[in-house]
Amino acid sequence: MGKKSSAVYNINYHIVWCPKFRKPILVGKVKEFVEEQLETIAQTKGYKILEAKVMPDHIHLFVEADPFDSPTNIVKIFKGVTGLRMSRKFPDLESKLWRGVMWSPSYYVGTAGHVSARTIEKYIREQQTEWKRKPIQNNILKTL
């Protein structure tokens, strides 16, 4: 669980992305380099990697981030920085990919936390029953 001056939060994202054409390029020294870069990026940006797995043709990343970063921005940062650094460190990879583009433009992102949707719905319903609101229409009709 994270904490900022204006928020306490528990936001975790499961992010998955692939190299262009799902080419199995994430092996050996490239895999090790990408794993290091994921950690470096997370530390620099203030994210916490809960779990990560670099597979030959895709990456799974389970990361905690604050509510001020959108999932799209988080993905852009991880994909953009790793892609740029990979192309600099391993220039021969660009020949295996179309126009040197490292990553496929698509990705998957899902959220996860410690509380289920059902628990939240129940909590809100119970809060609503304690707050007895006067119907607005009745008040308006009485004044007419």
Cβ burial of 133 (10 Å; 0-12, 13-18, 19+) is exposed
Token pair of 102 as six digits: 């490292």
Of the residues 9, 107, 108, 123, which is catalytic?
A: 123
Tokens 């940062």 -> residue? 77
Report how far residue 2's alpha carbon sits from residue 64's, in angstroms, rounded to the nearest whole number: 8
Does 13 participate in catalysis according to the annotation? no
- How does DSSP classify residue 8? E
**Residues forming the active site:** 123
